């Protein structure tokens, strides 16, 4: 038996019945996590913000930290030991006793998250970008037009703390270049402009969406 967890960005790109039918045809059983890791991660950031005076860097996107290194700001910004939501999901699924002995696939919207997950070497668990997964399958379902990402900028808006949102590589470089300590308690950063729905692990699928919209 093969099991698969579908990330929220990918899930939002298809009609649920079409996606589930496609996965069954490929021999996969779709699974979900038992915990709400979105809220768990959010609360971890809130708790940290209450204890530190330095600006906290949002590290949900693993592509952000390499960009900061060139600016030597590690002593000025708090880099929290908080793993991305998707990694939390992968850890739970990898250790689920009922799935022991079976292959488990964790789909990602980008290659950076897939690389981060695979580096953990979780037992019987593989992280794979959605477009790479589709390359190994037949007759994928038709995608739906995707508006904004299901995880758009503004993730921390309900925490009651001052934060700023920066998305896209150019804006991130500009933020670090002109960094002003203490301007906000938290800076939200996503490497992909406007959210994870622009991830490189979805690019082929995004082109298919554009073709559907032109029909």
For 54-102, how does the pLDDT look when each residue is reduced to its tens digit (9 = 90+)?
Answer: 999 999 999 999 999 989 998 999 999 999 999 999 999 999 999 999 9
Residue-level pLDDT at 210: 44
| pLDDT the model gives residue 175 | 96
Positions in the chain short of pLDDT 70: 146-148, 204-215
Among the listed residues 100, 84, 106, the one whose alpha carbon sits nearest the alpha carbon of residue 31: 106
Q: Could you tell me the residue range of the domain that residue 33 belongs to?
A: 2-214
Per-residue pLDDT, 215: 42
pLDDT of residue 138: 84
Question: CB of 46 within 8 A of CB of 161?
Answer: yes
Cβ 110 vs Cβ 169: under 8 Å: no
Structural domain total, the chain = 1
- The residue among 6, 195, 12 whose CA lies nearest residue 86 is 6
């Amino acid at each position: 038996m093969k099991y698969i967890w579908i990330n929220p960005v990918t899930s939002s790109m298809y009609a649920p019945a079409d996606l589930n039918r496609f996965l069954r045809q490929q021999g996969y059983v779709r699974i979900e996590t038992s915990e709400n890791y979105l809220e768990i991660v959010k609360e971890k950031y809130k708790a940290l913000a209450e204890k530190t005076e330095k600006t906290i860097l949002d590290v949900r996107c693993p592509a952000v930290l390499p960009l900061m290194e060139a600016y030597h700001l590690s002593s000025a910004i708090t880099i929290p030991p908080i793993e991305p939501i998707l990694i939390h999901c992968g850890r739970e699924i990898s250790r689920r006793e009922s799935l022991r002995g079976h292959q488990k696939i964790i789909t990602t919207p980008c290659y950076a998250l897939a690389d981060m997950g695979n580096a953990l070497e979780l037992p019987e668990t593989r992280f794979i970008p959605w477009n790479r997964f589709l390359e190994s399958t037949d007759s994928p379902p038709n995608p739906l037009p995707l508006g904004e990402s299901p995880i758009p900028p503004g993730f921390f808006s309900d925490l009651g703390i001052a934060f700023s949102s920066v998305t896209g590589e150019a804006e991130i470089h500009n933020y670090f270049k002109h960094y002003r300590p203490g301007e906000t308690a938290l800076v939200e950063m996503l490497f992909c402009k406007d959210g994870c729905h622009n991830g490189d692990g979805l690019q082929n699928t995004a082109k298919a969406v554009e073709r559907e919209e032109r029909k």
